[in-house]
Structures are given as C-alpha cells and as structure tokens.
Amino acid sequence: MKKLNKQQQAYEVIRERIMTGVYAPGQRIVTSQIAAELAVSVIPVREALKKLEEEGLIQYKLNIGAIVTPIDHDKYLEALSVLAVLSGYATALSAKQFPKEKLQELRHLNQQMNEALDEFNFRRFGQLNRAFHITIYQYCGNPFLLETIEHVHEQIDSIRRMGTAFIPKRARESIKEHEEMIAMLEYNAAFSLIDQFARNHKLSTLEAYRNHVLEQEKQQRIAFFE
C-alpha cells in the first residue's frame, strides 16, 4: 500500500472528520492543532485545506480562518426534489429490462444496509443505498438520464458531506420500502405505479429531513429563550 505524504495524510484526516461529523458545519479548523496532532509542520495542513476548499468542504472567513462549510438546507432540499422525479422515471424505465437474476443482488444490498444501520455505520449505509438504486437505474436504457442523475448525486454529496443529518427512523423505513420496490420489479408492476412509488420513496426522505431541520430550529429557539 502506497504511503501517504504529509499533505495527503492531513487531507485524509480532515476530510474524514468533516464527512463523519467530527468537524461540524461552521466549525473553525485550527491549523496548528492539526499539525501538532499529526506531528507535521503547518505547511502540509494548509495545502490540505486549500484542496478541501476547492472541493467546497472548507471556507475561509476574515479574522477567523478556515471553517467547515455551513450547510445550505434549501439547496439540499431542492436537489432531493429533483432526484425524486429522476429516480421515479429511471426506476420505472428500468423495470421492463431489469434481469430477474439481479433481484437477489438487490436483496443482498438491502440486507447489508440493515446490518450497517445496526452497527451505526451511517456512511456505509449511504454507500449501500446509492449502490441499490444505481443497480436498478443502469437498466433504464437512457445514458443522458443516468448522467443527469449522477450530476444531481454529486450536488447532493457536496452538501451531504458537510454534515447533513442522518435520520435512523427514516433509514429503517427506507429499507422496508426497498423490499416493496424489489417486489414490484419481480412481479412486473405497472410503469406508473413504480414511477410514483420510487418518487415518493425519495420525497419521504426529503420530508423527514425537512422536519428534522425544523425541529432543530425549534429546539435552538427554546434554548435561546431559556
């Protein structure tokens, strides 16, 4: 395995902490502290922060320095609503062409998602969820649609890895909905039914996230007045 240089090491450490929520959105990144922790000078840490800034994970604020990029909740919800429409259509298109022998692969992915949730491995859960849907989408027969979905995924990821909340209750519901989706593919449900179901599957995640944000804001107001 190739050994990481000092800049790469700093980059991986900071990026991992941002993606897993150790460094929260808006939190200041103290260059000297990370340098001391990794036993390196501040130079490779600064270079790592520049790269993370290019990826949109870090911002620089006057008189503060580097901070984790704050979450744009509205942008995230907008992207999810677009993905819901695209996902519904792509899933319905794929249904007619989806090989029945691939159904077991979907079941296996869904089982792995359940295990990841039991282990509180939320990042792994997200990766498996993405793999589940892409396994279906690839049979839609529309390369442009696939490219568009990938572009929206990239937009969502750029926001999500800044610390968007993981909602375990919604994750459990999502696994159950995947089981229903597999059954619809297996028994050749109508195009319109699959389209609507897959769209609502994503919209339910959107609503769960919206409600979570509203609840957080409510709690913050209560804490302020207390």
* Class of domain 6-68 (CATH, top level): mainly alpha
Q: Who has greater pLDDT, 174 or 18?
A: 174
- Contact predicate 197/180, CB 8 Å: yes
> What gap in Å lies between CA 5 and CA 64, rounded to an integer?
28
Residue ranges matching CATH 1.10.10.10 in the chain: 6-68
pLDDT tier for residue 46 given thresholds of 50, 70 and 90: very high
pLDDT 10s digits, 144-189: 999 999 999 988 876 765 555 568 889 999 999 999 999 999 999 9
Whether the predicted pLDDT of 17 surpasses 70? yes
Residue ranges matching CATH 1.20.120.530 in the chain: 73-225
The CA-atom distances, in angstroms, between 93 and each of 40, 97, 142, 226 are: 53, 8, 9, 53
Domain 73-225 has CATH 1.20.120.530: yes
CA torsion 209-172-154-102 (nearest 10°) is: -150
Q: Decide: residue 84, CB within 10 A, 0-12 exposed, 13-18 middle, 19+ buried.
A: buried
| Closest by Cα among 98, 90, 97, 71 to 182 | 98
3-class DSSP assignment, residue 59: strand
pLDDT 10s digits, 54-81: 988 899 999 999 999 887 888 889 999 9
